Amino acid sequence: MTASLFAQIFLGAVILSLATRLWLAVRQMRHVAAHRQTVPEAFAERVSPAAHQKAADYTCAKTRLGLVETVLETALLIWLTLGGGAAWVFGLARELFTQPMFSDTALIVGVMLISGLVSLPFNLYGTFVIEERFGFNRMGWKLWLADLLKSLALGAALGLPLLLLVLWLMARMGAWWWLYVWLAWTAFQLLLLAIYPTFIAPLFNKFSPLTEERVRTAVEALLARCGFRSRGLFVMDGSRRSSHGNAYFTGFGAAKRIVFFDTLLTRLTPPEVVAVLAHELGHFKRRHILKRMAWIFGASLAFLWLLSWLMLQPWFYAGLGLPGAAVPPHFGVALLLFFLALPQFSFLLTPMASMYSRQHEFEADRYAAEQAEAQDLVRALVKLYEDNASTLTPDPLYSAFYDSHPPAASRVARLAARST
């Protein structure tokens, strides 16, 4: 393959990905707006017209912002690759560091910082304009800035050593470097799962033991029925940042924790809390987390093998704007270009991943209906949809393409059928 042909293929993939994203976003906004005035019949007795209209407006506002962000991110991608932006950053990095490992690290960090700066205004607008307008944001500027600084520090503390290790393995382990990198990355992911509940999450939120007696008693009875052991039941101060609510369990092995947002506990009754938690436990009992991890680890192994082949092809570097990095191959350049290009070629696989996730959600709902009352889960879901301003009328194609959770109407209909 020639460099010019690969550049054309890459540009075609970028244009196809952008056009699909924009088309789906426009479809979503039009469909939601067209159904703004009428609450779906299945929810007419539970959701007020005002709440339904708020959800429609909130969905359109977020989708519109995402549409603009997508365009700018695509422009940045083209500049970094075909426009020579990454080559410019690479030149600066080589002026700063003569050792290839450090210049490659500087290149990757520099591109990440540029991408972060482009995304920053959208994060600010989403938090302090959209979330504020619809009454969800409870975060002040100091807390937002503190979160940003903590995230940067945490990313540097964890990410930089991993990146240096990966580059070292690529340079020293010969033709099988991709297997060693995969083993290191897998170990790193498992380590994150182990330390997240007790070391990382507390950096951003406060966790206190669940003390509300009625809820605790009901939850402990559910855990006994399900045979689920955890390191404790905790309440997270999610209300410091947002009025959105949720519940989840985190960690694995002896480090598993069950966490409730404080906003969730103030809104749901004890039976509804139990039903929501039963759904989350359904993911554990049906081994969804293990299955997803297996898919992720398997895909990462295949992608690393693919990178091991691509990095030896001069057209790969030249086609993406960095011909000078081909001989000898710069491992950091190859890593950066691969992860810039990969999403453009894998984007059309998104519906398959979404469908797989929705199947897991239905299975978790079925498990919840076996361990708790299906109608309690229905009532909880409706409250969560309303409180989080989740649209009840997504565009079917948009939903099929993106949504990791089934549409509200489908979930409620299946649960209602189980309760009759």
Which pLDDT does position 253 carry in this prediction?
A: 63
Q: What are the b/e assignments for 349-368, b being 16+ CB within 10 Å? A: ebeeebeeebebbbbbbbbb
Q: Residue 308: is its pLDDT beyond 90?
A: yes
In angstroms and rounded to an integer, the radius of gyration of the C-alpha atoms of the chain is 24
For residue range 28-69, list pLDDT tens digits in order: 999 999 999 999 988 988 899 999 999 999 999 999 999 999
CA 381, CA 208: separation in Å to the nearest integer? Answer: 25
CB 399 within 8 Å of CB 350: no
Cα dihedral 78/83/84/85 (nearest 10)? -50
Q: With beta carbons less than 8 A apart as the criterion, state whether 402 and 358 touch.
A: no
pLDDT for position 254: 59
Q: What is the residue type of 300?
A: S
Name residue 247's beta-bridge partners.
260
22: left (phi over 0), alpha (psi -120 to 50) or beta: alpha
Instruction: Determine the pLDDT at residue 193.
Output: 87
Interatomic CA distance for residues 200 and 206, integer angstroms: 11
- Give the Cα separation of 147 and 201 in Å (integer): 12
Range 256-271 average pLDDT = 89
pLDDT tens by residue, 114-157: 999 999 999 999 999 999 999 999 999 999 999 999 999 999 99
- What pLDDT was estimated at residue 362? 96
Average pLDDT over residues 74-79: 98
**pLDDT for 419:** 65
More confident residue, 420 or 191: 191
**Model confidence pLDDT, tens digit, residues 228-262:** 877 788 999 989 998 887 888 777 665 678 899 99
CA 292 to CA 272: how far, in whole Å?
27
Confidence of residue 197 (pLDDT cuts 50, 70, 90): confident
Candidates 312, 273, 346, 270; CA nearest to 14 is 346
pLDDT at 320: 95
| pLDDT > 90? residue 368 | yes
